[in-house]
Amino acid sequence: MGAWRAYIEGSALLEHRLNRELQAAHDLSIADYEIIMRLAEQPERQMRMSELASDVAHSKSRVSHQIRRLESKELVQRTECPSDGRGVFAALTDKGAALLEEAAPTHVAGVREHIVDLLDEHEQQVLANVFERVMKHLRSAEG
């Protein structure tokens, strides 16, 4: 129970701190940062909305709401899939890519300061192994 509670409180505090740092420096939430970062990693800086929702482990409706907010800031745009009339892509705009380039050092510095540099290499590997196992288990349970 102690490990579970430490995880719950620690992960909430970490996410809150990283979010606050991105908000203060770049007016960008950590959830929005995650979306634009995922898009930037893709060929042509775009993904199907359904794949994006799966990758960031959020509901399709939550991602759709986030994309709507990011569209209003001109950081992403939606486009229809040319090969599938029902498919919709989220695409990172040049403005979104520029904001990501500006915000990434803030986020990386925060992640290093608040977790990575607190762990030795073995602890980092254990943490990665644990959460890769958890993700694999939960994603396979989704069917």
Q: What is the pLDDT of residues 57-114, one digit of tens each?
A: 777 888 888 999 999 999 999 988 777 667 889 999 999 999 999 999 999 999 999 9
The sign of the dihedral angle between the CA atoms of 103, 113, 30, 32 is: positive
Q: Read off the pTM.
A: 0.86
pLDDT score at 122: 97
> What residue spans define the domains of the chain?
2-142
pLDDT band at 51 (very low <50, low <70, confident <90, very high): confident
Q: Report the run of H or E that residue 76 belongs to, with start and end.
A: strand 76-81
Q: Which of 103, 99, 100, 81 is nearest to 90 (CA)?
A: 81
Interval 17-40: pLDDT, tens: 999 999 999 999 999 999 999 999
CATH topology (fold) of 2-142: Arc Repressor Mutant, subunit A (1.10.10)
The Cα-based distances of 112 to 17, 79, 120 in angstroms read 12, 35, 12
